[in-house]
Amino acid sequence: MREVYLDHAATTPPYPEVLKALQESYATIYGNASSLHATGQKARRALEKAREDIAKLIDAEPEEVYITSGGTESDNIALFGTEALYPGQPMITSLIEHEAVLESAKALESKGHPVRFLPVDTNGVVDLNALKAYLEEKPFLVSVMAANNEIGTVQPVKEIAKLAHERGALVHTDAVQAVGKIPINVRELGVDMLSASAHKFYGPKGIGFFYLRKGVKVLPIVQGGGHERGLRSGTENVPGAIAMALALKISTRLFTRTHYRYERWTAQILSKCGEIGGFRLNGHPQQRVPGLLSLSFKRINGEALMELLDMNGVAVSTASACQSHSAKRGYSHVIQSLGIDEEYANGTIRVSLGVENVQEEVDFFCEILKKCVLQLRGYRNGQ
Ligand SMILES: Cc1ncc(COP(=O)(O)O)c(C=O)c1O
């Protein structure tokens, strides 16, 4: 059976060049970057080169980039690494964050930090008036994601950072769904901290980075040998860092070409949805990550649609990958926050295109999607 992978917001297949770099570096740059002998120093140089490359791609200084195990760890460093410095002070985040931020924020709440959750409009954009009001409470931190993992809405991070800084708060952005997909420039955004994860931009899993603006103080959340300038102890994953830097370089180079393709395919998919009828596209119509589509179909169940598509060889998801094994409702907290009609919300799937997709796969998906939605509606109506 044909297999069409359209779940790139969950994870991406590494670029062939990345796999090659990973294999080669595991074989030849196996030293411990903290060892003082030549083998160790070779690994150190490779690690620092990867750090420099990553820094350049996001307009940071190399010493502002810390290698971590991925998005979840970077998000945890941002919240738990700062909270102890501001005991009892509130923090602000949004209702539609990834669990890595949401659950961390809830944990901070239990440690005595009041947490304010920003609502979003029907397009999933955070409410800046609510932000202004909550900023009056003198929070120590504002953490708002750069792009949402379920609906693709890109947040006005630059504006958020400006408002937060005027009130003396630190600013963190979970940019896991933005880095490698849209241009990200930390200086322009004006954030103090940023999280990224390599497996979302065709790099390996289990590696990511944390940007920390020079001069901003963050405490380590794990204790150990003081690697990564004391912020992130643990023997450095040098091959992973090399592969991540390469993946980011390639993704950045491919922006224009992939965006053009994704736009064309998005129009094709939406036109097919129009043919099917009774659907809505969630998220902001323009301010969105290219290629990530959250589609809600009236009168069907999103999970049933996802399963039927899977049986037909097409991989999509209902919510974020992390939620699919713990979904408590028929739909996610993100979809719920948009305030859309339940008869649509229940029938939501996320389709996320990737660089390896080809026209025939999109054609195939469109046909199968129509067949599956109509089949589910037919069953429902007892036809
Ligand atoms: C917005 C967002 N933040 C954080 C994460 C977690 O990243 P990782 O899988 O690298 O831990 C994800 C992954 O789905 C994500 O989409």
Number of other residues whose CB lies within 10 A of the CB of residue 34: 15
Within 6 Å (CB) of ligand 1, which residues are found?
Answer: 70-72, 75, 98, 100, 145, 149, 174, 176-177, 197, 208, 320-322
Distance of CA 72 from the midpoint of ligand 1 (Å): 6
Whether residues 152 and 272 fall in one domain: no
Residues 231 and 281 in one domain: no
Show Cβ contacts of residue 356 under 8 Å, excluding neighbours closer than 6 positions: 5, 13
For residue 263, give Cα distances in angstroms to 109, 289, 353: 41, 10, 10
Query: Are 50 and 244 spatial neighbours (Cβ–Cβ below 8 Å)?
Result: yes
**Predicted local confidence at residue 329, as pLDDT:** 57
CATH number of the structural domain spanning residue 306: 3.90.1150.10
Cα 194 to middle of ligand 1, angstroms: 12
Predicted local distance difference test score (pLDDT) of residue 383: 44
Is 366 annotated as catalytic?
Answer: no
CA–CA dist 290, 105 (Å, integer): 29
pLDDT at 55: 98
For residue 328, the model assigns a pLDDT of 52
CATH number, domain with residue 126: 3.40.640.10
Shared domain for 242 and 359, answered yes or no, is no
Taking the centre of ligand 1 as the mean of its atom positions, its distance from the CA of residue 352, in whole angstroms, is 15
pTM exceeds cut of 0.85: yes
- The residue count of the chain comes to 383
Domain that holds residue 122: 16-249
CB 211 within 8 A of CB 178: no
**What is the per-residue pLDDT for 111?**
95
Burial pattern 313-334, b for ≥16 Cβ within 10 A else e, equals: ebbbbbbbeebbeeeeebbbbb
204, 342: one domain: no
Report the pLDDT value the prediction gives residue 382, as an integer from 0 to 100. 41
Question: What was the pLDDT predicted at 302?
Answer: 96
Q: In sequence order, which residues have a C-beta less than 8 Å from that of residue 264 and are 6 or more positions away?
A: none
Q: Are residues 262 and 292 in the same domain?
A: yes
Q: Which residues of the chain have pLDDT under 70?
A: 319-329, 379-383
306: helix, strand or coil: helix
The pLDDT tens digits for 217-232 are 999 999 999 999 999 9
